[in-house]
Structure 1
Amino acid sequence: MARKAGPARSTTIVDVAAQAGVSPMTVSRVINDRTGVGAETRAAVQEAIRALGYRPNVAARSLVMSAELRIGVVYSNPSAAFMSDFLTGVFEEASARGARLVLLKGEGGRPPAEDALRDLIASGVSGVILTPPLGESPAVLRVLREAGLPMASVGAHQVADTICVRIDDRKAAYEMTRELIALGHRRLGFIVGNPDQAASAERLAGFHAAVREVDGVQTAVAQGDFSYASGLVAGEQLLDAPVPPTAIFASNDDMAAAIVSVAHRRQLDVPGELTVVGFDDTTAAVMLWPPLTTVHQPVRRLAAEALGLLATEIAGGGDAVERADRVLAHGMVRRQSTAAPRG
């Protein structure tokens, strides 16, 4: 018995972009009559729309073109301290610009369901900001690109058709590792962050780059996912080694705080017997004893910059914003969790 065919897939903005040889964001600009698109490119997009019979969603377009700036914020991050700083930066910038924020949360570090993302799009948001690790999630990016929405990602590294705002993670990790070596440490532990984020690989690369410059440095690497719980597991693994490290560098403050907890449980003095350093400089770095030496990542500024660039993109700021990869300055914050190794 023949099977009844399902409904044909409707033409999407991605199909139009492929036909015209441009990005979905450029198609969105043409559909919404924004600036920043050359006459030849505009004509190619319009021809692709005619050839494919593409019909833009009139209701969604009218919402996008309304006077109110509505920004979707999609987040799912295991670090409450990071998210507190991030949301503060977004709220402050949105308030200054008179923008309305629409929040969508995924659970446990996972992306929101596709239906939830489509509901967010249908609500009429003009663009979307993505927090780590969602700025590098293929599932999330696919849905947003199909809708032709402008996107800004904090902490992501050079994602196509997305404004990326970050620090130089490799350089920051390199500098912190050099400080540990300068203190005299030659047995170093490192805890990697979420394997799905480019920042994790960049921080590990910076750590290794610094170690390679000095003879006689022994290293041990454990996998985490930026959560406090993963830091506990990684800390136990590193300190259970026959010859444990004298210093541990965790890829964020939550995991570094977990290392301090593991050390206290083992009656190890921090920093007398174990130096611990983190990354981010969130409130987690100062809510324990001793407070953490850490890399300062300006999370609030990163979030505010992302929203500002996204607002410019929505207003038709041109292809330069579309391809933006903004790198903000980082710093080192030295507190009481570091010391020279004993002996």
Structure 2
Amino acid sequence: MTRPKRATIVDVARMAEVSAKTVSRVVNNEPHVTEAVKTRVHEAMRALRYHPNVAAQGLVRSRSYLIGLVYEKPSPSYVVELQKGALERLHGERFRLVVLPVESVTEREDEIIALLRSAALDAVLLAPPASDHAGLMAELREVGMPFARISPTRLLGQGASVAMDDVAAAQEAAEHLVKLGHKRIGVIKGDPSHAATDARLVGTMQALAKAGIMLHPELIESGQFTFDSGLAAARRLLALDPRPTAILAQNDDMAAAAITAARECGLHVPEDLSVVGFDDSDISRVVWPPLTTIRQPVEDMAYRAMDMLLGALKGEPEGGDVQLAHELLIRRSTAPPKAG
């Protein structure tokens, strides 16, 4: 079977009745080209299905036009939100996104630096926990690779970053349960390597202390921000006597797992057990009952961080620390505890 011939810049120039150099100027957004000529060139490109060779453009400008996104084992929903935000900002730009999942930023720092160098990236977005890793950021500065941080909790003031207040968000989630009348509240923590895990626990403890409620050690279980780890943690909490009347999980995957664990025990949510999640990911809306959760604007944070990174690549001043607002979304997974 004969493969169809790929259109070239010469073909576009011939159809648009301009020179190849003019086509190149249009593709590269260079000045001194009239709107009428730009329109003819773009119409020819669409008709011929011509796509500029980004790699070739990079060779000319000593750029790869590749931006990396580094993340470590988060929930699938979180990754999707990160990519959606980054890609939305890249729409219409010549830069492309390279997704770089890693096993452990703490244990494999040298490997990650080598990976970023070998990928010939122009810049990189750092998602948690990479966004809180001082050694990684120092290495990136040393090699001159621009970076922007998504949802950092520590080391603020080091490079461009977009985050929200995890302490305040967790505090509001816990206060919601307290206002409903819950006093025995279980907590499922996230991955201990993520700074947000400690920040969310601090917020929860502050809210309970303010209400005069003790968070006993047996009511705190550890997870990994995954469904399976949340299921195991929720089973341990529900095996306590007395069991908690509410569970506050540090992400939606673990909260959804808590609902599953409740059903295994013959409990109804929210009549017998209230459950609160964190993130407002897709699973929070499809699980039954829909989760009361904290909306963390992950997509917006990735969009803003990418915008800062593109600005840095264009020579604009380095962005500072931007904080976006969270929101408590009250759905059907929470209710007052049963009397007695």
- TM-score w.r.t. the length of structure 1 is 0.75
Offset at residue 90 of structure 1 (A): 0.9
* Matches of 2:59 and 2:88, distance apart in 1: 23
Task: Note if contact 2:64-2:121 (Cα within 8 Å) is conserved in structure 1.
Answer: no
Determine whether 1:86 maps to 2:82: yes
* Matches of 1:286 and 1:229, distance apart in 2: 19
Distance 1:111 1:70, change over 3 A: farther
Q: Percent identity?
A: 36
Q: What is the match of residue 284 of structure 2?
A: 285
**Partner secondary structure for residue 225 of structure 2:** coil
Aligned partner of 2:78: which letter?
A: F
* Matches of 1:314 and 1:64, distance apart in 2: 16
Offset at residue 238 of structure 1 (A): 1.3
**Partner secondary structure for residue 221 of structure 2:** strand
Distance 1:101 1:217, change over 3 A: same
Distance 1:64 1:318, change over 3 A: farther
Task: Note if contact 1:64-1:125 (Cα within 8 Å) is conserved in structure 2.
Answer: no
Q: What is the match of residue 120 of structure 1?
A: 116
Deviations 1:220-263 (CA, angstroms, capped at 9, x unpaired): 21111211121112112211212111011000001101111111
Q: What is the match of residue 185 of structure 1?
A: 182
* Matches of 2:197 and 2:261, distance apart in 1: 22
Q: For 1:1-343, what aligned pairs fall within 5 Å after superposition?
A: 66=62, 69-107=65-103, 114-115=110-111, 117-137=113-133, 140-159=136-155, 161-219=158-216, 220-319=219-318, 321=319, 324-343=320-339
* Matches of 2:215 and 2:299, distance apart in 1: 36
Distance 1:198 1:108, change over 3 A: closer
Deviations 1:26-46 (CA, angstroms, capped at 9, x unpaired): xxxxxxxxxxxxxxxxxxxxx
Aligned partner of 1:230: which letter?
A: S
* Matches of 1:230 and 1:206, distance apart in 2: 22
Deviations 1:272-301 (CA, angstroms, capped at 9, x unpaired): 000000000000112211110000011110
* Matches of 1:327 and 1:295, distance apart in 2: 15
Aligned-pair Cα RMSD in Å: 2.4
Q: What is the match of residue 9 of structure 1?
A: none
Task: Note if contact 1:158-1:164 (Cα within 8 Å) is conserved in structure 2.
Answer: no
* Matches of 1:91 and 1:336, distance apart in 2: 33
Distance 1:284 1:110, change over 3 A: farther
Task: Note if contact 1:278-1:293 (Cα within 8 Å) is conserved in structure 2.
Answer: yes
Aligned partner of 2:315: which letter?
A: G
> For structure 2, which runs of at least 5 residues remain unmatched after alignment?
1-57
* Matches of 1:302 and 1:271, distance apart in 2: 31
**Partner secondary structure for residue 105 of structure 1:** strand
* Matches of 1:218 and 1:143, distance apart in 2: 40
> For structure 1, which runs of at least 5 residues remain unmatched after alignment?
1-61
* Matches of 2:260 and 2:105, distance apart in 1: 23
* Matches of 1:214 and 1:92, distance apart in 2: 42
Aligned partner of 1:275: which letter?
A: S
Distance 1:292 1:64, change over 3 A: farther
Aligned partner of 1:167: which letter?
A: M
**Partner secondary structure for residue 91 of structure 2:** helix
Aligned partner of 1:197: which letter?
A: H
- TM-score w.r.t. the length of structure 2 is 0.75
Offset at residue 108 of structure 1 (A): 7.6
Task: Note if contact 2:125-2:148 (Cα within 8 Å) is conserved in structure 1.
Answer: yes
Offset at residue 218 of structure 1 (A): 4.9
Distance 1:158 1:164, change over 3 A: farther
Aligned partner of 1:255: which letter?
A: M
Aligned partner of 1:170: which letter?
A: V
* Matches of 2:222 and 2:140, distance apart in 1: 30
Offset at residue 205 of structure 1 (A): 0.7
Q: What is the match of residue 40 of structure 2?
A: none
**Partner secondary structure for residue 286 of structure 1:** helix
* Matches of 2:294 and 2:215, distance apart in 1: 22
Offset at residue 141 of structure 1 (A): 3.5
**Partner secondary structure for residue 271 of structure 2:** coil
